């Protein structure tokens, strides 16, 4: 009975988090588009923060309920899935090109964040001090993004505003549109928070009903579920040839998941977040390896080809199969 209840609670929570993220991303993207910010910056910041909100809500709720392994497992599982499966699938649909700015800034920060998480978890506990250090890295990254955005050309801003901004001829005033988008943002956050609570409760019930660990549920079911916004965003953006948003979203989410999402989560438990030995031995190294693998792929011609994308997808399938085999 508990397993059945957990399943439905998980399913409703998952749908709520995805729907809330959609509201948040739409409202945030429209607001940012009016400022004329470039597609890559939009993907790395607004869209990434929006699609990472489910991980934040789930991490905080899991930490409050004492399921810290689920919180860290969700981050490690989500980042691995984002980079291997979602980025790989997007490249299979259409080869992905990365701008030189992203190679100079975003990729190194992504690797640094993954390495930092691995290092702070090595002793088996992530303390509030560790979480503060991750947040500091995130703030530094944000400052660098803002500085990079200021160097964007006027032509790029006008082009993106024309593509994503709403037509001026619409009867609704700009002020009313802004209020509407802010309401979408706030509503999206509220729906995500409520949905995340249901999702975590259902995931914990499922884990206990099937006799598997919270960490396993976080690495698999919860990670796949909360990555749905990134998956939808990446595939749709790639099909519409808005590849800067697709790549920027995945890179930005991978950074923010660690530095802000897990950083904030680490501030909640007074005794820190306990890390399962299996996560240290397997899952965090796999996450770091997936992050490092992006560098040589994009350095060769500044793009990820279809064959390389297929290799990333195959690597995730092997990782997921290993998880199921070893953890169940």
pLDDT digits (tens, 9 = 90+) for 200-253: 778 777 777 777 776 777 777 777 777 766 676 676 666 666 666 667 778 888
Range in 21-25, 93-97, 164-168 the model is least confident about? 164-168
Scan for tokens 């501030």, then name that residue: 267
Domain positions in the chain: 2-322
pLDDT at 157: 52
Q: Dihedral sign, CA of 238, 318, 229, 135? A: negative
Q: Coil, strand, or helix at residue 288?
A: helix
Does 35 have pLDDT greater than 90?
A: no
| DSSP secondary structure string for all residues of 157-175 | HHHHHHHHSPPTTSSS-HH
Q: How many CB atoms lie within 10 A of CB 257?
A: 30
| DSSP secondary structure string for all residues of 189-236 | HHHHHHHHHHHHHHHHHHHHHHT--HHHHIIIIIHHHHTHHHHHHHHH
- In degrees, to the nearest 5, what angle opens at C-alpha 49 toward C-alphas 292 and 44? 50
Average pLDDT, the chain: 79
Does 45 have pLDDT greater than 80?
A: no
Tokens of 187: 């509503």
Tokens of 7: 């399943």
Tokens of 108: 């190194």
Does 158 have pLDDT greater than 60?
A: no
Range in 93-107, 126-140, 152-166, 250-264 the model is least confident about? 152-166
- Give the number of C-alpha atoms closer than 13 A to the C-alpha of residue 61, restricted to the C-beta side: 23
Does 153 have pLDDT greater than 50?
A: no
Give the tens place of pLDDT for each residue, 316-327.
999 988 887 877
288 near 118, Cβ under 8 Å?
yes
| DSSP secondary structure string for all residues of 51-103 | HHHHHHHHHHHHHHTT-HHHHHHHHHHHHHIIIIIIHHHHHHHS-EE--HHHH
Tokens of 27: 């409202």
Q: Coil, strand, or helix at residue 26?
A: helix
Does 93 have pLDDT greater than 70?
A: yes
Of residues 315, 252, 276, the one with CA closest to residue 74:
276
pLDDT at 169: 42
Report d(CA 68, CA 73) in Å as an integer: 8
pLDDT at 44: 67
- In degrees, to the nearest 5, what angle opens at C-alpha 199 toward C-alphas 195 and 205? 150
Is the overall model pTM greater than 0.85, yes or no? no
The CATH code that applies to domain 2-322 is 1.20.1420.30
Does 171 have pLDDT greater than 50?
A: no
């Amino acid at each position: 009975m508990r397993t059945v209840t957990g399943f439905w609670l998980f399913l409703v929570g998952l749908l709520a988090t995805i729907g809330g993220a959609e509201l948040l991303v739409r409202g945030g993207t429209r607001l940012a588009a009016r400022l004329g910010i470039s597609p890559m910056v939009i993907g790395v910041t607004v869209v990434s923060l929006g699609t990472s909100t489910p991980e934040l809500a789930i991490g905080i709720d899991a930490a409050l309920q004492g399921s810290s392994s689920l919180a860290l497992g969700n981050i490690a599982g989500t980042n691995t899935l984002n980079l291997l499966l979602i980025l790989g699938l997007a490249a299979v649909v259409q080869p992905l090109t990365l701008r030189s700015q992203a190679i100079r800034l975003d990729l190194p920060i992504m690797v640094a964040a993954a390495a930092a998480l691995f290092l702070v978890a090595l002793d088996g506990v992530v303390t509030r001090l560790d979480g503060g250090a991750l947040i500091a890295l995130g703030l530094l990254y944000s400052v660098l993004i803002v500085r990079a955005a200021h160097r964007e050309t006027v032509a790029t801003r006008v082009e993106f505003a024309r593509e994503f901004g709403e037509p001026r001829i619409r009867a609704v005033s700009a002020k009313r549109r802004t209020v509407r988008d802010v309401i979408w943002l706030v509503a999206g956050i509220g729906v995500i928070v409520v949905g995340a609570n249901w999702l975590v409760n259902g995931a914990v019930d499922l884990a206990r009903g099937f006799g598997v660990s919270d960490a396993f549920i976080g690495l698999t079911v919860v990670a796949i579920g909360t990555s749905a916004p990134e998956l939808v965003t990446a595939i749709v953006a790639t099909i519409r040839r808005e590849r800067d948003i697709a790549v920027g979203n995945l890179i930005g989410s991978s950074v923010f998941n660690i530095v802000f999402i897990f950083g904030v989560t680490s501030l909640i438990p007074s005794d820190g977040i306990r890390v399962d030995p299996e996560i240290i031995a397997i899952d965090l190294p796999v996450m770091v390896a997936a992050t490092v693998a992006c560098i040589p792929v994009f350095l060769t011609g500044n793009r990820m080809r279809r064959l390389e994308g297929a290799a990333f997808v195959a690597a995730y399938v092997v990782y997921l199969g290993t998880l199921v085999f070893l953890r169940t």
